[in-house]
Amino acid sequence: MTPNNFATVRDILRYAITRFNTAKLFFGHGTNNAFDEAAYLILHTLKLPLDQLEPFMDARLLQGEIDNLLRVIDKRTEERIPAAYLTNEAWLGGYRFYVDERVIVPRSFLAELIPEHFAPWLQDADAVQHALDLCTGSGCLPILLADAFPQAQIDAVDISADALAVARLNVDEYALGDRITLVESDLYSKLPDRKYDLIISNPPYVNAGSMAKLPQEYLHEPQLALAGGDDGMDLVRTIVSGAAQRLTPQGILIVEIGNEREHAEAAFPGLELTWLSTSAGDDMVFMVSAAQLQAR
């Protein structure tokens, strides 16, 4: 079958899956296989419901629709641009966010933990008055925090003005400008003199060796938001060391570090990190309490 005699969604879907698999694309920005990626891009491009592929499988396509779909498939395959940048949207924890190449594509195991209010380490979700998200990127995590902790005012920090411009779009989309304050700052440096009941962060943590081996899809993302230095812990060290002065007495710090548990434990040999369970296991996210940090 050639592009000239595509007729239906089914035709395009089959073609896209074959292209993606032949090119050995990397899937890690919202989907994890060629079928789901192709289905998402087709449904989004055709402005169809993202959860309803089957009713449209044999729908006949207009030539203009076929042309648009082939352009998207070509860009994904030939330029290896993540799907989220082609559609300008990403989904995390059931929430939709605007994204472009000024921010990394939202993906965080913290999105699994936020609806659980970090229980049992936080005793009372309604008692969280002030929360802080460091390295906020697109602003996705503070938006999730705002829903889970209805009494909280949230500061969301990033060093990148470009990232904060994207975060502003998302905060405004969810009408949370009265509860989420975006701050351009190198971590804690330009924050107000405030104590937080909860600090979270999904910082750059990829170590230098892993950075050199990243799939091409990741090279479209801001490298500033990925690279964490030789052992991946450059920013994590600053986050942990500064949290002692920033947390309330019962406050906690939650940090996502991906596959860097070994490096994290080596970076904080005198600190007993509590590892939280996620869908990827118990090695991705750690917690430390204000009491632990202030006792160091």
How many domains does the chain divide into?
2
What pLDDT, on the 0 to 100 scale, is given for residue 4? 62
In a domain, residue 93? The reply is: no
Contacts of 219 (CB under 8 A, 6+ apart): none
In a domain, residue 173? The reply is: yes
How is the chain split among helix, strand and coil, in percent rounded to 5?
Answer: 40, 20, 40
Please indicate, yes or no, whether residues 211 and 277 belong to a single structural domain of this protein: yes
Please indicate, yes or no, whether residues 141 and 196 belong to a single structural domain of this protein: yes
Please indicate, yes or no, whether residues 117 and 151 belong to a single structural domain of this protein: yes
Please indicate, yes or no, whether residues 155 and 195 belong to a single structural domain of this protein: yes
Please indicate, yes or no, whether residues 150 and 255 belong to a single structural domain of this protein: yes
* Residue 255 CB neighbours (<10 A): 25
What pLDDT, on the 0 to 100 scale, is given for residue 2? 45
In a domain, residue 247? The reply is: yes
What pLDDT, on the 0 to 100 scale, is given for residue 247? 97
Cβ proximity of 296 and 270 under 8 Å: yes
Instruction: Check residues 269 and 227 and name the one with the higher pLDDT.
Output: 269
Cβ proximity of 288 and 158 under 8 Å: no
- Model pLDDT for residues 159-196, shown as the tens digit of each residue: 999 999 999 999 999 999 999 999 999 999 999 999 99
What pLDDT, on the 0 to 100 scale, is given for residue 254? 98
Please indicate, yes or no, whether residues 236 and 130 belong to a single structural domain of this protein: yes
In a domain, residue 200? The reply is: yes
In a domain, residue 244? The reply is: yes
Domain that holds residue 14: 3-87
Please check the confidence at residue 236 and state whether its pLDDT lies above 50: yes
Report the pLDDT averaged over residues 227-255. 94
- Model pLDDT for residues 6-50, shown as the tens digit of each residue: 999 999 999 999 999 999 999 988 899 999 999 999 999 999 999
Please indicate, yes or no, whether residues 145 and 261 belong to a single structural domain of this protein: yes
In a domain, residue 281? The reply is: yes
Residue 33 backbone zone (phi > 0: left; psi -120 to 50: alpha; other: beta): beta
Please check the confidence at residue 1 and state whether its pLDDT lies above 60: no
- Model pLDDT for residues 39-77, shown as the tens digit of each residue: 999 999 999 999 999 999 999 999 999 999 999 999 999
Please indicate, yes or no, whether residues 216 and 184 belong to a single structural domain of this protein: yes
What pLDDT, on the 0 to 100 scale, is given for residue 58? 97
CATH of the domain at 151: 3.40.50.150
Please indicate, yes or no, whether residues 207 and 73 belong to a single structural domain of this protein: no
Instruction: Check residues 224 and 291 and name the one with the higher pLDDT.
Output: 291
Distance CA 121, CA 274 (A): 10
Please indicate, yes or no, whether residues 199 and 274 belong to a single structural domain of this protein: yes
Last residue of a domain, one of 58, 87, 116: 87
Question: What percent of the chain shows pLDDT beyond 70?
Answer: 99
Last residue of a domain, one of 24, 53, 87: 87
pTM of the entire predicted model: 0.94
- Model pLDDT for residues 73-90, shown as the tens digit of each residue: 999 999 999 999 999 999
Name the amino acid, one letter, at 190: K
Tell me the average pLDDT of the chain.
95
Please indicate, yes or no, whether residues 142 and 16 belong to a single structural domain of this protein: no
Q: Where do runs of H (alpha helix) occur along the chain?
A: 9-22, 34-45, 63-78, 83-87, 110-113, 140-148, 161-173, 208-211, 234-246, 261-267, 290-294
In a domain, residue 97? The reply is: no
Please indicate, yes or no, whether residues 158 and 274 belong to a single structural domain of this protein: yes
In a domain, residue 186? The reply is: yes
Please check the confidence at residue 3 and state whether its pLDDT lies above 80: no
Beta bridge partners of 183: 157
What pLDDT, on the 0 to 100 scale, is given for residue 30? 87
Last residue of a domain, one of 55, 87, 119: 87
Res. 123 pLDDT band, cuts 50 70 90: confident
